[in-house]
Amino acid sequence: MTVQHDPSVYERIQAGEQFQELRRRYRSWAFPMTIAFLVWYLLYVLLSGFARDFMGTKLFGNINVALVFGVLQFVSTFLIAWAYSRHAAAKLDPIADELRAGAENRDEVGEGAK
Amino acid sequence: MSHETLSTILFVVFVAGTLGITFWASRNTKSASDFYAGGRSFSGLQNGLAIGGDYMSAASFLGIAGIIALSGYDGFLYSIGFLVAWLVALLLVAELMRNSGKYTMADVLAFRMSPRPVRTAAGVSTIVVSIFYLLAQMVGAGSLVGLLLGVTSQTGKVWTIIAVGLLMIVYVVFGGMKGTTWVQIVKAVMLMVGAALITLLVLGKFGFNLSGLLGDAAGASGKGEAFLKPGLKYGTEAQGIWGKIDLISLGLALVLGTAGLPHVLIRFYTVPTARDARKSVLWGIGIIGVFYLLTLVLGFGAAALVHGKIDKSGNTAAPLLAQEIGTQVFGDVGGTVLLAVIAAVAFATILAVVAGLTLASSSSFAHDLYAHVFKRGQVTDRQEVVVARIAAFVIGAVAIALSIFAQSLNVAFLVSLAFAVAASGNLPAILYSLFWKRFNTAGAVSAIYGGLISAVVMVIFSPVVSGAKTAMFPDVDFHLIALSNPGIFSIPIGFLCGYLGTVLSKEYSASKYAEIEVRSLTGIGAEQATGH
């Protein structure tokens, strides 16, 4: 079982400027991006259901809009995943590391359960 | 040598190898952290491969290639939902869960709630979702082996289900998370190599001209250009508006379900830090994405080259394509070898997925229901592991029995139902727990039961259970709803229940929310790797 900590420790960290910055950087990237890729995906599904002639439009040879749109969903997924890992490494990890080191140095919080 | 003999030999080699791994893993599985989370000592790449091995079921390999081979473009649509879903896991769930949880999905949900009701709800949901998924896989295994090995008798199917079930029990009971993870890693490598090889041969045959391949596929299918655009399988024009709503409903369940599937979530606990959890999802996205692009070529390749020979379910499309392209490129022996390889890969695929599902449900039974609900946390590590092993055995046995009972029924819909339940019940509870300050016990319990019950009830009264030729019970008709996929209603119902349950209850703890928010974002106090 996890050791019981004094909960006010977490509240103090939570109220701190550094943590508020970490929280803001995380949420202001992850939340809008989630909405964006869900909308982009739903647009694809809606077009597949309701705009089939458009999706069937040939672009070159037998390659049509539907195929390109589908492959673009793969491309956008790969790009968003890559962009998130860059964002997290540059903007989130350093603050999280500092906060964690600070808390462990002051021995405010014990280790998790073994 | 016939391909059946060769397949059997390859399969025996795989089973012997994985049993060896399981034996090794069992000697290194002592603590609860070893059994549930593999000692949290897998690397990001290893766990990424295991994520692929856990996720890419026979339904995605043979099933999606088959749908593309028979109905063209619509199979691709299915795989896109499966892939994009991983962004939800990457951006919102994986790292925060690794930081704040321990062994199961319920650990995160129960963190700041009254543990017993929340763990009961999460345990029930985990076991229901996993058993649905398990049944679809095992019944599918029965008919698949029949097709691949030419075993057509009912007894043959029953023995296949029993053999698959027993192997999965052995992997989980003895190997725990370590054994299961290695089985999944080996399977992922086999699957990627096998699929890439066939894809290269098919593309080579068409001079790496994708347009030419698509043209031949459309021509051979007899459906012309319609074969290359959406609409032949999901939401056909003949089904009218409800068919199209059904398509959107399926799309929603696929994209939101993954990040709520218990057997997916527990994979995030097998790495030392949240950063490794992020890396493993990145690897997973790469592997799964490339794999689905390969199945696109496999499906259209099968349509172009072996269209007339594929069975009604489409499951034989990839194996037949392997045989055909092998024969064309390397002669008869080549065809036999490639068919045997693909058949063996399909068996490996089934085993790796069912083992992951059995592990998720037995972990939740032992850790959530037994240790925290029945025993109120008064158990030792050792007792928990013993109970988890017994639970794996019992759940495995129940799954074998149910699968034998259901073997002649069409239960393929259970996979999309599992995704719908995960998206409607589990996902709202997880997201609210991590991000909503006000969320509480009543909210968590309402979200899980609300989503679970609404999805299951809607499916019971849908055309996949009764009232259609392809239904589970085609001879009776008690269907009330035109939709086969409940997601479009059950997902908002789950989120709404979570909201209402929360605001109608006064319970609220700012300090517990501070704890989960700080821990989930910083990794302070996160579970450490034990490693050996």
CA A6 to chain centre: 30
Cβ-Cβ contacts under 8 Å for A35 (sequence gap 6 or more)? none
Q: Is residue B483 part of a domain?
A: no
Q: Is residue B276 part of a domain?
A: yes
Asked if B202 and B321 touch (Cβ cutoff 8 Å), the reply is yes
Residue B53's φ and ψ, nearest 5 degrees, are -65, -30
Q: What percent of chain A has pLDDT over 70?
A: 87
Residue B100 CB: number of other CB atoms within 10 A? Answer: 26
Give me the pLDDT at residue A111, please: 47
Cα separations in angstroms, B526 against B35, B146, B445, B523: 18, 47, 25, 5
Say which of A11, A85, A100 has its CB closest to residue B524.
A100
DSSP one-letter code for B266 = G
Residue B362 CB: number of other CB atoms within 10 A? Answer: 29
Asked if B48 and B56 touch (Cβ cutoff 8 Å), the reply is no
CA-to-CA distance for B198 and A67, rounded, in angstroms?
Answer: 21
Pairwise CB contact (< 8 Å): A45 & B218: no
Q: Is residue B505 part of a domain?
A: no
Pairwise CB contact (< 8 Å): B210 & A63: yes
Residue A66: closest C-alpha in chain B: B229
Say which of B281, B514, B524 has its CB closest to residue A7.
B514
A112: contact with B, CB 8 A cutoff: yes
Smallest Cα–Cα separation from B300: which of B219, B194, B213? B213
- Site of tokens 């690397």: B43
Q: What is the per-residue DSSP string for B364-375?
A: HIIIIIIIIIIS
Cβ pairs bridging A and B (under 8 Å): 170
Cα separations in angstroms, A46 against B87, B117, B252, B480: 20, 39, 11, 25
A32: contact with B, CB 8 A cutoff: no
Pairwise CB contact (< 8 Å): A74 & B289: yes
Q: How far is A22 from chain B (nearest CA, A)?
A: 8
Q: Which CATH number do you get for residue B333?
A: 1.20.1730.10
DSSP one-letter code for B36 = H
Mutation for A interface: B228, B229, B254, B431, most A CBs within 10 A: B229
Burial of B506: CB neighbours in 10 Å, binned 0-12, 13-18, 19+: exposed
Say which of B76, B228, B231 has its CB closest to residue A62.
B228
Give me the pLDDT at residue A114, please: 33
Q: Is the pTM value of this prediction over 0.90?
A: yes
Q: How far is A12 from chain B (nearest CA, A)?
A: 9
| Segment A22-59, tens digit of pLDDT | 999 999 999 999 999 999 999 999 999 999 999 999 99
Smallest Cα–Cα separation from B263: which of B455, B105, B485, B44? B105
Smallest Cα–Cα separation from B260: which of B43, B448, B459? B448
Residue A60's φ and ψ, nearest 5 degrees, are -150, 135
All residue ranges of chain B with pLDDT < 50 are 532
Q: Which two tokens stand for residue B455?
A: 């999805």
Residue A63's φ and ψ, nearest 5 degrees, are -80, 120
The residue range of the domain holding B305 is 3-408
Residues of A in contact with B88 (CB under 8 A): 34
Asked if B300 and B214 touch (Cβ cutoff 8 Å), the reply is yes
A68: contact with B, CB 8 A cutoff: no
Strand pairing partners for A63?
A60
Selected residue with higher pLDDT from A109 and B97: B97
CA-to-CA distance for B431 and A34, rounded, in angstroms?
Answer: 13
Count of structural domains, chain B: 1
Residues of B in contact with A5 (CB under 8 A): 515, 525
CA-to-CA distance for B285 and B264, rounded, in angstroms?
Answer: 13
pLDDT band at A1 (very low <50, low <70, confident <90, very high): very low
Mutation for A interface: B524, B527, B532, most A CBs within 10 A: B524
Smallest Cα–Cα separation from B55: which of B291, B247, B252, B272? B291
Give me the pLDDT at residue A4, please: 53
In chain A, what's the furthest Cα-to-Cα distance?
A: 67
Smallest Cα–Cα separation from B254: which of B419, B128, B49, B144? B419
pLDDT band at A108 (very low <50, low <70, confident <90, very high): low
Q: Is residue B477 part of a domain?
A: no
The domain spans of chain A are 8-103
| Segment B216-259, tens digit of pLDDT | 999 999 899 899 999 898 888 888 899 999 999 999 999 999 99
CA-to-CA distance for B205 and B216, rounded, in angstroms?
Answer: 12
Q: At what angle do helices A17-50 and A65-87 cross, to 10 degrees?
A: 170
Residue B68 CB: number of other CB atoms within 10 A? Answer: 31
